[in-house]
């Protein structure tokens, strides 16, 4: 059986993003369990704010065409995201909105039937958990199947060492448990 293909990304473009660090830790854990991991930085997939007239005139930006294709080639997605006022950050909403649109004749849904793991990091004490049910609902409406549960990293400015490794054992355990479940499901699929 070939290794499951997992796309990993963070919902922040910030250079020192704690969610980028969280995504990198999740990618390492998934790799260590034999998955074929593609870890991307959304900074490399910039797109203008979605506008229907822009889409009607120009179609999808090349970055979003590439992102759409990339997701379609994977079995699952791991998302590490900040919460902005308890909600999904505009970077993720904009990216997922764009790639939910048809690319010319290609009307396929790149999200359909893919599994997802959700995680959040925040410098605050709740670890950004308020975004999780909102992201779960959004991805479900897009056709994905987010796994139950989540990982969160509270106090995230202190939770990574100088090499970016997650030092919070509780959060690390949550990621490992989610990745193990994901791979079990993908092996059966
Ligand atoms: C507009 C805005 C709203 C925010 N709202 C929340 C919030 O609701 N809860 C929270 O824990 N942190 C909130 N924060 C703080 C973020 O958790 C913090 O900026 C974090 O570092 C962002 O993640 P990143 O490091 O991955 O970019 C907010 C930040 C911004 C810019």
User: Which CATH number does the domain housing residue 90 bear?
Assistant: 3.40.50.360
Token look-up 């990216």 returns 95
HSE (side-chain half, CA atoms, 13 Å) at 185: 19
84 lines ligand 1 (CB under 6 A): yes
Going from the Cα of 122 to the center of ligand 1, the distance in angstroms, rounded, reads 6
Q: Which of 23, 25, 84, 124 to mutate to test the pocket of ligand 1 (most atoms within 8 A of CB)?
A: 84
18 lines ligand 1 (CB under 6 A): yes
Ranges of residues in the chain whose predicted pLDDT is under 50: none
Q: Whole domain around residue 114: which residue ranges?
A: 5-188
Q: Which of 19, 23, 82, 132 to mutate to test the pocket of ligand 1 (most atoms within 8 A of CB)?
A: 82
pLDDT at 20: 98
128 lines ligand 1 (CB under 6 A): yes
| Whether 166 contacts 159, CB under 8 Å | yes
Closest residue by CA, ligand 1 atom 17: 122
Going from the Cα of 106 to the center of ligand 1, the distance in angstroms, rounded, reads 36
Number of domains in the chain: 1
Q: Which long-range contacts (CB under 8 A, 24 or more apart) does 103-107 make?
A: 103/59, 103/60, 103/65, 103/68, 104/59
């Amino acid at each position: 059986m070939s290794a499951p293909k997992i796309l990993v990304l963070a919902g922040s473009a910030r250079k020192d993003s704690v969610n980028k660090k969280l995504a990198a830790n999740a990618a390492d854990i998934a790799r260590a369990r034999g998955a074929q991991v593609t870890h991307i930085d959304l900074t490399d997939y910039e797109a203008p704010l979605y506008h229907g007239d822009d889409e009607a005139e120009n179609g999808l930006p090349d970055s979003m065409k590439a992102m759409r294709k990339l997701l379609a080639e994977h079995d699952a997605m791991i998302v590490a995201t900040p919460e902005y006022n308890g909600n999904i950050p505009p970077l993720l909403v904009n990216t997922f909105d764009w790639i939910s649109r048809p690319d010319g004749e290609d009307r396929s849904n790149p999200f359909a039937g893919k599994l997802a793991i959700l995680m959040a990091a925040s410098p605050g004490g709740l670890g950004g958990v308020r975004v999780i049910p909102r992201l779960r609902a959004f991805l479900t409406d897009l056709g994905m199947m987010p796994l139950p549960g989540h990982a969160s990293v509270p106090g995230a400015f202190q939770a990574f060492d100088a090499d970016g490794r997650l030092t919070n054992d509780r959060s690390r355990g949550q990621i490992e448990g989610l990745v193990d479940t994901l791979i079990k499901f993908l092996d059966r699929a």
